[in-house]
């Protein structure tokens, strides 16, 4: 959600008040963007949540509009060239014209024009379903481009093919909407999209569309298949494009190649995230971990003794995962969560009798992610084999054992700290870090089981290291 935006209900109430004031001055205010589309879907029985309400004001110049909005609170004008205002969490703008002046997503000259007709103003929208308006006073739906009919047909169609192909971000949005709504692509629109150069898209915009696809889609695979069809993967995500056609052993993967498995697994992850009531970055970690979990298979899949094998694919998947995530610009912290899940995703399904030592060390390897996160990704991986109800026998064993050890959510805390060594009479020095690390390793292995044993062992190590130093 945009910074400063409020609850859509409060925005809607404010939009109605502003619209009445605009009407009193001889203008017209219409709700545009995603809200009218979502409202029509809700009327048709779809469970759709709107995040924001955007108001477009016709017939008032910028100064008149600014003065009117000032009566509703502090006004923030965010775009002097095309006159976008924010007041009370509501975004208000005048209709805009744009002209392509250079390459890329930002290569447009955009100016506000309050005298535009709604038809002309809505012609700049990407898809017909996003070019619908709602009159907040009368409830009337305005639709100049057949968006309402396309909603009923479940069709994603460009308002203007030439304008659509001028903005590469619209291609990503097309795939994202395919995932969010499960709509099919209009053939002409898809054909136009395939010819668009996507390589100049800013990483932050790519990441924003991926975030929406993974977090807001009942079936993200619809968006993934759209990306594949529209050449998005080939152009900017070769790590994912490489999955198609990589065969798997039919005994373990009857569903098909690695791409088919990945799309099924991501759909399973979306279901798991909803079941676990995960939101935001917590959900994104599970979704992205599942999406990337087999990126190492194109690098490792070989025929061995007549069987397809992908030995070491979990480790080989780390580098392509890092490359993929770097293009999304989600930040280093999210990458630190996701990569360990890829590297260790086989552990829950391959371990038979996990030891306390193995589980404690697993928790350390996963951090800052957790064993709980790993189990959710592993569940999605297993369900991605074609049977949505299948489980794996070691899930409960591993989960319960990790819970007994207290490492489901995070690793064991250090058993010994520097202050303990000082309390024991040792002076801070170069040996402190080495000793603390060795004691913690032995704690993880179960050789040290209490604070007293840890202190005793630390004392032994400190004396040994001191003696060795004196001998040199």
Q: Flag whether pLDDT at 397 surpasses 90.
A: no
| Pair type for strands 133-134 and 141-142 | antiparallel
More confident residue, 180 or 100: 180
In the block, residue with structure tokens 């390793």: 441
User: How far is it, in rounded angstroms, from Cα 143 to Cα 135?
Assistant: 11
Residue 315 pLDDT = 96
Is residue 278 within 8 A of residue 370, CB to CB? The reply is no
Residue 109 pLDDT = 60
* Per-residue model confidence as pLDDT tens digits over 25-53: 999 999 999 999 999 999 999 988 888 89
Is residue 210 within 8 A of residue 239, CB to CB? The reply is no
Phi, psi of 318 (to 5 degrees): -65, -50
Three-state DSSP class for 419?
helix
Name the range with the highest mean pLDDT among 103-112, 245-254, 407-416. 245-254
Residue 3 pLDDT = 40
Residue 64 pLDDT = 94
User: How far is it, in rounded angstroms, from Cα 80 to Cα 71?
Assistant: 20
Closest Cα partner for 30 from 124, 120, 103, 95? Answer: 95
CA 432 vs. chain centroid, Å, equals 41
Question: Taking residues 369-382, what's their average pLDDT?
Answer: 96
Task: Let me know if 93 is exposed, middle or buried by CB neighbors in 10 A (0-12, 13-18, 19+).
Answer: buried
User: How far is it, in rounded angstroms, from Cα 451 to Cα 104?
Assistant: 60
Give the number of other Cβ atoms within 10 Å of residue 450's Cβ: 10
Question: Taking residues 431-455, what's their average pLDDT?
Answer: 78
Q: Flag whether pLDDT at 2 surpasses 50.
A: no
Query: What is the percent of the chain where pLDDT is above 90?
Result: 65
Q: List the Cα angle 5/21/136 in 5-degree steps.
A: 60
Three-state DSSP class for 161?
helix
Which tokens belong to 238?
């070769």
Residue 160 pLDDT = 95
Facing residues of 28 across strands?
A: 58
Q: Flag whether pLDDT at 463 surpasses 80.
A: no
User: How far is it, in rounded angstroms, from Cα 224 to Cα 203?
Assistant: 18
What's the number of CA atoms in the CB half-sphere (13 Å) around residue 12? 14
Closest Cα partner for 362 from 409, 396, 317, 313? Answer: 409
Residue partners of 215: CB distance under 8 A and separation at least 6: 279, 280, 283, 284, 287
Q: Residue 7: which pLDDT band, with cuts at 50, 70 and 90?
A: confident
| Pair type for strands 75-79 and 84-87 | antiparallel
Cα–Cα separations (whole angstroms), residue 433 to 199, 365, 414, 430, 443: 46, 19, 12, 7, 15
Residue 1 pLDDT = 33
More confident residue, 359 or 112: 359
More confident residue, 350 or 69: 69
* Per-residue model confidence as pLDDT tens digits over 306-341: 899 899 999 999 999 999 999 999 999 999 999 999
Is residue 309 within 8 A of residue 341, CB to CB? The reply is no
Which tokens belong to 279?
């939101």
Which tokens belong to 212?
């929406």
Residue partners of 353: CB distance under 8 A and separation at least 6: none
Which tokens belong to 325?
């995530």
* Per-residue model confidence as pLDDT tens digits over 142-201: 999 999 999 999 999 999 999 999 999 999 999 999 999 999 999 999 999 999 999 999
Residue 341 pLDDT = 98
Q: Flag whether pLDDT at 107 surpasses 90.
A: no
Q: Residue 106: which pLDDT band, with cuts at 50, 70 and 90?
A: low
User: How far is it, in rounded angstroms, from Cα 196 to Cα 300?
Assistant: 32
pTM: 0.86
Is residue 54 within 8 A of residue 33, CB to CB? The reply is yes
* Per-residue model confidence as pLDDT tens digits over 75-91: 988 755 557 899 988 99
Residue 355 pLDDT = 85
Q: Flag whether pLDDT at 300 surpasses 50.
A: yes
Three-state DSSP class for 155?
strand
Three-state DSSP class for 308?
strand
Residue 79 pLDDT = 59
Residue 444 pLDDT = 76
Q: Flag whether pLDDT at 101 surpasses 90.
A: no
More confident residue, 447 or 257: 257
Facing residues of 93 across strands?
A: 56, 84
Three-state DSSP class for 132?
coil
Facing residues of 92 across strands?
A: 55, 85
Phi, psi of 79 (to 5 degrees): -145, 100
Question: Taking residues 374-395, what's their average pLDDT?
Answer: 85
Give the number of other Cβ atoms within 10 Å of residue 263's Cβ: 23
DSSP string covering 182-199, please?
A: -PEEPHHHHHHHHT---T
User: How far is it, in rounded angstroms, from Cα 335 to Cα 346?
Assistant: 19
* Per-residue model confidence as pLDDT tens digits over 273-299: 999 999 999 999 999 999 999 999 999
Which of 26-35, 299-308, 394-403 has the lowest average pLDDT?
394-403
DSSP string covering 216-273, please?
A: H-SSHHHHHHHHHHTTHHHHH-HHHHTTTT----TTT-TT-SHHHHHHHHHHHHHHHH
Helix axes 371-383, 332-343, angle to 10 degrees: 60
Task: Let me know if 148 is exposed, middle or buried by CB neighbors in 10 A (0-12, 13-18, 19+).
Answer: middle
């Amino acid at each position: 959600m945009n910074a400063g935006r409020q609850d859509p209900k409060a925005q809607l109430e404010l939009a109605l008040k502003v619209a009445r004031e605009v009407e009193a001055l001889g203008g017209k205010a219409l709700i545009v963007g995603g809200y009218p589309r979502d409202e029509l879907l809700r009327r048709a029985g779809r469970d759709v949540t709107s995040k924001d309400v955007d108001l477009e004001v016709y017939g008032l110049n910028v100064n008149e509009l600014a003065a009117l909005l000032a009566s509703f609170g502090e006004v923030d004008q965010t775009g002097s060239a095309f006159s976008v205002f924010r007041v009370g969490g509501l975004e208000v703008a005048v209709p805009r014209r744009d002209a392509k002046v250079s390459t890329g997503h930002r290569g447009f000259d955009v100016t506000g024009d309050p005298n535009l007709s709604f038809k002309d103003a809505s012609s700049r929208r990407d898809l017909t379903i996003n070019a619908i308006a709602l009159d907040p006073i009368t409830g009337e739906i305005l639709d100049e481009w057949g968006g309402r009919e396309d909603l009923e047909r479940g069709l994603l169609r460009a308002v203007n093919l030439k304008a659509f192909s001028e903005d590469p971000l619209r291609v990503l949005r097309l795939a994202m909407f395919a995932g969010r709504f499960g709509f099919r692509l209009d053939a002409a629109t898809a054909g136009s999209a395939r010819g668009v150069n996507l390589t100049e898209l800013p990483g932050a915009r790519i990441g924003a569309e991926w975030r929406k696809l993974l977090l807001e889609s009942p079936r993200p695979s619809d968006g993934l298949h759209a990306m594949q069809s529209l050449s998005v993967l080939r152009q900017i995500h070769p790590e994912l494009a490489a999955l198609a056609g990589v065969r798997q052993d039919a005994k373990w993967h009857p569903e098909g190649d690695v791409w088919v498995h990945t799309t099924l697994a991501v759909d399973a992850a979306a279901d798991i995230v909803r079941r676990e009531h995960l939101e935001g970055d917590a959900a994104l970690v599970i979704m992205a971990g599942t999406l990337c979990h087999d990126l190492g298979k194109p690098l490792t899949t070989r025929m061995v003794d007549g069987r397809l094998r992908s030995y070491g694919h979990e480790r080989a998947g780390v580098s392509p995962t890092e490359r993929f995530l770097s293009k999304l610009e989600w930040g280093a912290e999210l990458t630190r969560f996701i990569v360990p899940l890829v590297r260790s995703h086989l552990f829950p399904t391959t371990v038979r009798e996990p030891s306390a030592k193995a589980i404690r060390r697993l928790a350390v390897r996963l951090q800052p992610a957790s064993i709980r996160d790993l189990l959710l990704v592993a569940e999605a991986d297993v369900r991605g084999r074609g049977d949505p109800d299948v489980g794996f026998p070691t899930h409960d064993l591993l989960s319960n054992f990790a819970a007994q050890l207290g490492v489901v959510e995070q690793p064991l805390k250090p058993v010994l700290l520097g202050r303990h060594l000082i309390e024991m009479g040792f002076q801070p020095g170069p040996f402190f870090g080495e000793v603390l690390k060795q004691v913690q390793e032995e704690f993880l292995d179960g050789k040290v089981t209490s604070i007293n044993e840890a202190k005793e062992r630390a004392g032994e190590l400190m004396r040994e290291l001191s003696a060795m130093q004196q001998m040199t």
